[in-house]
Structure 1
Amino acid sequence: MSIYDITVTREDGTAHTMADYKGKVLLIVNTATKCGFTPQFKELEALYETYQDQGFVVLGFPSDQFKQELATGSEAAAACRLDYGVTFPMHELVKVNGSDAHPLFQYLTEHTKGFLGSSIKWNFTKFLVGRDGEIIARYGSKDKPMSFEEDIKKAL
């Protein structure tokens, strides 16, 4: 199985496979609108705006696993768009850890055990995925998106 075999659901309820992003560089982020790291949305959006024409996509996945998110993915996405000007794709509310974790986050954590350990410790854990679908890097909550802009440029 590859990352491209996984089905995800957008904030509006539309399901699609990650294969829609084949050939693109992805930054997959578990987000939360009521978290101390929420201001990272500004940097995530800035990177998306700067590099989207080169094949870069930020994918936001709201999660209430750490009790810092609104009730639904559409509410979370609306807050991100209103408060931070987010234009990148946002998705339904997901779990990122445990037996109920979304298959995408199961895949990401299983394939990054050498990076920061398997489980996601907090909101705004970020995964950089190359054009070939392979995970390039995993960044923790405290890693500000602009701090790894060079990694994104190299992947592009």
Structure 2
Amino acid sequence: MSPNLYLKDPHETELGRNIIQQSIALLDELGFEDFTFKKLATEINSTETSIYRYFENKHKLLIYLIDWYWTWLEYRIDHQVSNIKDPSERLKACLLQLTEEKVFDINVAYVDERALERIVSSEFEKTFLTKQVDADNKEGLFMPYKSLCKK
């Protein structure tokens, strides 16, 4: 995860994890256009200012969440194929990880992987169809996706 995505790592604090959990729920429910930090602040019983201590804007938050998803998926694929030598079996294992229904992961209980997958499906294009895409790319904000694609 690029540190350029956040001002303060949300995984390090309870408030940060709450921001992640509730932003996934709200983005899944409302979509990116209707999602605001004000609505998120109401959901987490905090202030918009506290959210801005973690993320510059909702676009960076969306990229963060989607990058988290790609990083998590790459980890799962690497774990699944680490001992498989046959290329066709490796490919089958990768495809299985990509297409299987996502399940609750106790290690990151504050992340709803199913909702996050729906967000990736519906909002991913909004991370790079922007005027600042070249600057974002230079900052390495899309590296998790590119890394997974190289596999």
Q: TM-score scaled to structure 1, two decimals?
A: 0.33
Which structure has greater strand proportion? Answer: 1
Which structure has greater helix proportion? Answer: 2
Q: TM-score scaled to structure 2, two decimals?
A: 0.33
Query: Comparing both chains, which one has the higher relative contact order based on Cα–Cα distances under 8 Å and sequence gaps of 6 or more?
Result: 2
